[in-house]
Structure 1
Amino acid sequence: MANEANEKDTGAVFQLSTMTSLLAGVYDGAMNFDEIKEHGDFGIGTFDHLDGEMIGFDNQFYQLRGDGTATPLTNKNRTPFCSLTYFRPQMTKTFDRPIGKEDFEKELHKLVPSDNLFYAYRIDGVFKEVSTRTVAWQDKPVPMTEAVKTQPVFHFENLKGTIVGFWTPVFAQGIAVAGYHFHFIDEERTGGGHVLDYVLDHGTLQIDRKTHQSLYTPDTAAFLNANLSRGNLEKEIKVTEG
C-alpha cells in the first residue's frame, strides 16, 4: 500500500543494498520499480544484470542504457542497487556563467555546513559539455571492475538537461559511493548516464540536506553468499566510478 503523505520519511536517503555488493558482482534485482518508488521521487541506481543507469526526479524515472536510449521505468524493471529520497530542497542557487566540474564542486562545498551529512542535489540548465558512461548488461556476475571495461562513454555538447545525485559522507563509503555521485539526462529524455565530467553554461542548483540513511539489505542468494569485505575498496570504487 502506498505511503500517505504524512508517513513519508522525507529526511532519509533510502539505500537499496550496498556498493560493495556491486563490486562483488551482485547484480540480481532485489526490488521492482513499484517497490522502490515507495521510498522516494528522486534518485539514481542501476538495474538487474547491471543493465544501464537509473535516474529519477519529479517522480519520473528512466533507464539509461548502453545503446544511448532513455526509457521510462515500469514494474518490470528491477534493481540490485539504488539511492532514493523525497526531494525537498531547502536551498537554491543560480549560476549565470560557465563553470566546470572541479570548480562547481568547490562551490557545492561552500554552500553546505558539513561534509559529514547527506545531501541530494539537482542541477537544471544548459551544459556546454557532459561526459557520461553507461554500464551494460552482464550475462555473468563478474566483478564490477571488469564489467566497466566495456562500458560505452557518451559526450554531449550545448544542450539542456538535468543532473541529479547525492553527496555521501566518507564514513558511509562502501554502503554508497562516498563523495559526489551524479547521473545526467537530456531535456528531451533521449539519453544520459553516470556523470564523468561536465561544464555547466548556466543553470539552477537545488540542495536538499538529509538527516539520515535508511539501508535495506536484500535477501537474494547472490547477496547472502557474496564476500562484501573488499581488500581494495578505494581503488575499486575509483575504477568503477571514473
Structure 2
Amino acid sequence: MRELSNSQCACSFDVAKEYALYHHTTGEGEIYQTSLMSALIAGIYEGTTSIAQLLEHGDFGLGTFDQLDGELIAFDKDVYQLKSDGSANPADKEQKTPFAVMTFFKADIELPLTSTMSRSEVHALIDNMVPSDNVFCAVRIDGVFDFVRTRTVPKQTRPYRPMIDVVEAQPTFKFNQRHGVVAGFRSPQYTTGINVPGYHEHFITDDRQGGGHIQDYRVSSGFLQIGKVSRLVIDTPSSADFLNADLAPENIRAAIEKAEK
C-alpha cells in the first residue's frame, strides 16, 4: 500500500486499512465506454453517441462533446457541458459525444473527509482502500474545496489537429472556496490507449455554473464515495476516420499524459 503524508489524519488511514481488509476487491458494476482515448489523441472528435444513448448505460460519468466542444460530467442522471469559457450548462439529449465513460453509480465505500487533503492525498487514500490497481473505480466527492484548477478544450474544426497540439492552447480556470462535485474514474494501467490510466476527474460547482477537467484541487471537507467496477463494455465507432486511424502509436502513454494535464 502507498504511504499517506503526515498531514492526512490517522483515522482516515485506519479506515482505509479496514476497507482493504474486509471489503471484496472487485465490484459488480459495469462501465460503458464509447470510442477509445487513443482515438481522441488521434484527432477523432466527431460524436457518434448521443447523450440520450449514454444515459441508457449509466447515470454517472465523464467525457467530451462533438468536435471536442467542452467537457462532459454526469451524476444523479444529469449531464452537463463544461464549456471553454469556464461555464456549465445542462446538455441536450440530442448532443453527441466522441468519447465518454458511464456507469450506474453504486458506492461500495463511503467515507467523510474531515481534514484538508490535496488531490494526491485523496488518491493515496483511495489506493489504500482499493489496493489493486487492476480494479476500475468510479469516484465521487461532494465537498468544500479550497481551490480547484480546471481546463477545458475549445471546439475544433476540420482539419482536426492531434489532441496534444490542441491542449497547448486550452484555457484554464481556478475556482476558490467553492462547494462542488468531483466525478471521475480510476482506471487500471493496462487500459492505456483504451482509457486514461490512473485518475481522470471532472468538476462542477454547486450552483452548476462552472467547472472543467481537473488539473488539481485541495478539499477542506466533504464526502467520498467509491464504486468498484469489474466489467467494461466498449462501443467503437464505424466512421472512416476511426477505421483509418493509427490507434496504437508508440508514444500513446506520453501523449495521454500530456493531454490529461
Question: Contact conserved, 1:99 with 1:201, CA < 8 A, in 2?
Answer: yes
Name the residue aligned to 1:217. 236
The CA RMSD over aligned residues, in Å, is 0.9
Name the residue aligned to 2:91. 73
TM-score (norm 2): 0.87
TM-score (norm 1): 0.94
Structure 2: runs of 5+ lacking an equivalent: 1-27
Stretches of 4+ aligned residues off by more than 3 angstroms: none
Deviation at 1:113, TM superposition (A): 3.7
Q: Give the letter aligned to residue 212 of structure 2.
A: G
Q: 1:159 aligns with which of 153, 178, 186?
A: 178
Name the residue aligned to 1:138. 156
Aligned equivalents of 2:38, 2:86: Cα separation in 1:
27
Name the residue aligned to 1:193. 212
SS at match of 1:211: strand
Name the residue aligned to 1:122. 140
Name the residue aligned to 2:10. none
Aligned equivalents of 2:113, 2:248: Cα separation in 1:
41
Deviation at 1:92, TM superposition (A): 0.3
Q: Give the letter aligned to residue 92 of structure 1.
A: E
Deviation at 1:169, TM superposition (A): 0.3
Aligned equivalents of 2:195, 2:50: Cα separation in 1:
19
Q: Which of the two has higher C-alpha Rg?
A: 2
Question: Contact conserved, 2:193 with 2:248, CA < 8 A, in 1?
Answer: no
Aligned length: 233
Q: Does residue 17 in structure 1 map to residue 40 in structure 2?
A: no
Note the 1:179-190 alignment, pairs <5 A: 179-190=198-209
Q: Give the letter aligned to residue 99 of structure 1.
A: M
Structure 1: runs of 5+ lacking an equivalent: 1-9
Aligned equivalents of 1:212, 1:229: Cα separation in 2:
23
Question: Contact conserved, 1:28 with 1:220, CA < 8 A, in 2?
Answer: no
Q: Give the letter aligned to residue 152 of structure 1.
A: P
Aligned equivalents of 1:168, 1:239: Cα separation in 2:
17
What is the CA deviation profile of residues 31-90 of structure 1, one whole-angstrom value per residue up to 9, with x for unaligned ones?
A: 111111111000000011100000000001100000121111112311000000000111
Q: Give the letter aligned to residue 82 of structure 2.
A: L
Question: Contact conserved, 2:186 with 2:198, CA < 8 A, in 1?
Answer: yes
